[in-house]
Amino acid sequence: MAKTPTIELELTAMSREGQALGRHQGKVVFVPYALPGDIVRARIVEDRKRWARAALVRIVEPSPQRVEPPCPYFGTCGGCHWQHIDGAAQLAFKQDMVSDQLARQGQIADPPVLPVLAMNDPWAYRNHVQFAVSPAGELGFQGARSHEVVPVERCLLLHPLLDELHQALDVEWPELERLSLRAGIHTGAQMIILETRGDEIPELDVTMPVSCIVRRSDDTDMAIIGQYTYLETIHDRPFQISASSFFQVNTLQTEAMLDVVSRYLDPDPSDVLLDVYCGVGTICLSFQDQVGTVIGVEEHPAAIEDAWINAAQDEAVTLIQARAEDVLPQLEERVTKVVIDPPRQGCRPQVIDALIRLGAERIVYVSCNPATLGRDARLLAEGGYRLREAQPIDMFPQTFHVETVSLWQHQEADL
């Protein structure tokens, strides 16, 4: 079959999914692994009525912001999206993405979005990674253009504690489907999580002080070496984290994020702080000594168990294991400050409606997806809240993903 002819495109903008875009015959064309300012030859691989997607074939004229990717797997492995973009330009694109979604989806004119908080060193930051296993038993990541596993000898985004584990692994186990590595970068804790097709327990030869977990077919975890939890510290405060509990993948930027949350919350001993999607308590328990009462809501059983341990039996802390959309409409407690940190899907409408009914003077929204932040922003604005400030944080360098902390003030409250 003959290949589709290539077209020449001048790329002028960046999409919210991290792909450069241009126009050809009046239609928007998205090109991964390119950037605004590039002039490229590209081949259409998906053609829709109003838009098309193209594969980069050749760079005719590079953008001044284009750099040489340091990773030999870039463009083949699907883990990174932006290694070809200068660091300062990555930050500018992310700020624009947040502003654009708050304006478009949130219908907020001239949203007050600050420049992105960057890392001093935007490499070797990940404290958690999940590998897929190739048919040949090699560890790698899903390919950028296929569902095949791309074997990877070294990933430049892994923290040295994870890279050490990765380099030491010798995996020969046909039942293995996925393998995850986790680490506490401030504590030195290391963990291996094995996910298998059956419940057979492997024989392991381990010479490092590492916990090894088998995730069984019923999604329960069993520690076969060490513990099924590990410790990390955030601003010197310890947090227990179970193998299946969510924790931000970038510890240093999590500390930066908490600094922003603290500034936006302005915690006071009279406050009743509600943390929705609280996880292991990373946010709310960081302020438990600065507010009067903490209420945390979390659906995941292991995370709420971790949060109970992390709360250290503080009687001023109430933790509720439930879906946010189930418990918040029933909540009768007086709440003065709220933190919400939902998954990429954002908040269900019932959650936003309940928060508006509670009428807290401040809501601090921590988002990992500008599109759903923009969608929920419109609902908050319609419910009487005003966006005071949004601070993007580069939690995921070399990718198009961005964390955003935004401050919403009830219009009847004085800042």
pLDDT of residue 415: 47
Q: How far apart, in whole angstroms, are the C-alpha atoms of residue 340 and residue 353?
A: 13
Catalytic residue positions, numbered: 368
Those residues with Cβ within 8 angstroms of residue 221's Cβ, 6 or more apart along the chain or in another chain: 193, 213, 214, 215, 228, 242, 243, 244, 302
Q: Which portions of the chain are predicted below pLDDT 50?
A: 1, 415
Q: How far apart, in whole angstroms, are the C-alpha atoms of residue 344 and residue 101?
A: 14
* C-alpha count within 13 angstroms, C-beta hemisphere, residue 316: 15
At CA 331, angle to CA 327 and CA 336, rounded to 5? 125
C-alpha of 140 from chain center: 20
Q: What size, in residues, is the chain? A: 415
- Which two structure tokens, joined as six digits, stand for 279? 């996880």
Q: How far apart, in whole angstroms, are the C-alpha atoms of residue 191 and residue 189?
A: 7
C-alpha of 179 from chain center: 19
- pTM assigned to the model: 0.95
pLDDT over 90, % of the chain: 87
Domains belonging to the chain, first-starting first, are 6-66 (2.40.50.140), 89-120+250-410 (3.40.50.150), 128-232 (2.40.50.1070)
Q: Which of 202, 126, 114, 120 is nearest to 160 (CA)?
A: 126
Q: How far apart, in whole angstroms, are the C-alpha atoms of residue 133 and residue 135?
A: 7
Do the beta carbons of residue 296 and residue 317 sit within 8 Å?
yes
- Which two structure tokens, joined as six digits, stand for 332? 């009768």
pLDDT of residue 69: 98
